[in-house]
Amino acid sequence: MHPLLQQNTWRFIDQSITMKARTPLESFAMDDTLCQLVGQLQSSSTVRTWVHDNTVVLGIQDHRLPYVQEGIQYLNSRGYQAIVRNSGGLAVVLDSGVLNISIVLSEQIGAININEGYDVMVGLVKLLFPEAADKIEAYEIIGSYCPGSYDLSIGGKKFAGISQRRLRQGIAVQIYLCIEGSGSERAKLVKDFYTFSLKDDETKFAYPKIQPEVMASLSELLEKPLTVRDTVFRLQAVLNQLSNQNSVQSLNEEELELYTFYLNRVLERNEKMLNRK
């Protein structure tokens, strides 16, 4: 177990239901808010869960695709909205079967390098799914969407990806966990998005050549009917074991003012990105 998972107090914010019908931009603003609060020691270390309905979250490089607007129109025709996130990586799919978890830590107590941040999240996922802990591996899955060196997989099939956001001495380590549904169908959606957005043009940046069969949900991999809600309950139980005290609380009035500031910033940035010609 990673030592940073053991905290005197974990603050837990569960938005796995309340955020569903809202834009994921609100979640990125929330993590920026928590980065500042935790980073400046105005809040204890925090774990937040979040779920959003059908959205493809694009990375910085994705919005530079030569025909990105046609790709977005395709996503819209399939019932998905598109946004651009403020952390690293490429396109990922969010829907009601994908649970996102953010771990927010402060660097004021001690520096946390990038790999260590990833290792904290890998450790948490293994605690969440002890029945699969010895099977979960972290390495890049070629052919997956948003590939990275900390892709989480079982038997060579990816079910999760991790990114990080660093702000005001706070670090938000974010993971999407494909819990329910078909991982390959999500990958096919992103593959088609790139097909419409690239049209075989040559680009300086090498976009992933997606092979849908290398992605799966945990329900598929473990051959058991896991749900997002059950995973949230598992997470609460794990946090109870990892801390002397848990604080389940939403933002207070002062924190909400800071959130409003970050939300406006995220909304303005996303609009500029998507409207850039």
Taking alpha carbons only, the member of 19, 43, 16, 41 closest to residue 29 is 19
Helix, strand and coil in the chain, % to nearest 5: 40, 25, 35
- Residue 248, pLDDT score: 78
> What is residue 86's DSSP assignment?
S
Exposed, middle or buried: residue 215 (CB in 10 Å: 0-12, 13-18, 19+)? buried
Residue 167 has pLDDT above 70, yes or no: yes
The lowest-confidence range among 89-93, 188-192, 244-248, 255-259 is 244-248
- Residue 273, pLDDT score: 78
- Residue 104, pLDDT score: 98
Confirm if 212 and 184 have CB atoms less than 8 A apart.
yes
pTM listed for this prediction: 0.95
Q: What's the whole-number mean pLDDT along residues 214-242? A: 96
Question: What fold characterizes domain 3-275?
Answer: BirA Bifunctional Protein; domain 2 (3.30.930)
Residue type, 176: Y
Among this protein's residues, is 146 annotated catalytic? yes
Which residue of the set 35, 72, 138, 146 is catalytic?
146
Could you give the CA distance from residue 233 to residue 64 in angstroms, rounded to a whole number? 39
- Residue 243, pLDDT score: 87
Residue 87 has pLDDT above 70, yes or no: no
Axis crossing angle, helix 24-39 with helix 253-275, rounded to the nearest 10: 130
